[in-house]
Amino acid sequence: MTLLTDKVAVITGGAQGLGLAMAQELSREGARVVIGDLDGARAREAAASLGGEAVGVACDVVDAEQVQALIDTARQRWGSLDVFVNNAGITRDATMRTMDEDAFDQVIQVHLKGCWNGTRLAAAVMREQKAGAIVNISSLSGKVGMVGQTNYSAAKAGIVGMTKAAAKEMAHHGVRVNAIAPGLIRSAMTEAMPSKAWEQKMAEIPMQRAGEPAEVASVALFLASDLSSYMTGTVLEVTGGRFM
């Protein structure tokens, strides 16, 4: 038996990066996985790559009907919804002086409204089952604020507040809601940073290295499984000690 045997997990933004790493980890531990992604073709490719029971679905998390369709796919195919990971996100970085309203609105919509859609719609199913785990992906940017990210930092801080409020609402229904706040995680995007910016960030990390996507995925597994059965409303930082 593995940690998530016979469990059904949905992951938004799961076709690449952290989302795909989490999908892989949950699948390895026995979960049946539904990957939602704005790019439906990549979602299907990602699902096919897992090797276990998995399906990929096109999903824009800003649209509640599409998020509901993602949940319906999981329930129609496997009969339940046990884990929901709100991971989908975008960046539109610019200083506050140069950022336009569209760049602000897009980031708030995808991260904050998208997370709200996923949390409320998943919780509606889980409360009827009287069990379930919701994992929201915040960021260290939501804790300390990052230059050029007034939109992203605001959205990620909002996810923390939302997680805590939802956790209080859902605890007596047997539904747990927790968040992860990653720091500098190695990816194609972060490795494309100018060397000066990379070195500055590395200097802030006591462990003196970037994290790997698998190191976030293992924390998501912990929060999704019964290993964290007495935890709700928490924010676990995966940062190498940066900004303790």
List of residues 6+ apart from 45 with CB closer than 8 A? 15, 56
Catalytic residue status for 152: yes
Cβ neighbourhood burial of 72 (10 Å; 0-12, 13-18, 19+): middle
State the catalytic residue, choosing from 152, 163, 167, 185.
152
32-37, strands of its sheet edge to edge: 54-58, 32-37, 8-12, 83-86, 132-137, 175-182, 235-238
What the block records as the tokens of 134 is 């919701």
Q: What is the end-to-end Cα distance of the chain in Å, rounded?
A: 36
Is 47:54 a contact under the CB 8 Å cutoff? yes
Q: How far is CA 81 from CA 22, 51, 70, 182, 205, in A?
A: 16, 20, 10, 25, 37
What number of residues does the chain have?
244
DSSP-based three-state secondary structure for 98: coil
Q: How far is CA 97 from CA 75, 105, 148, in A?
A: 46, 15, 9
Measuring CA to CA, which residue among 155, 60, 153 is closest to residue 112?
155
What residues are annotated to the active site? 152
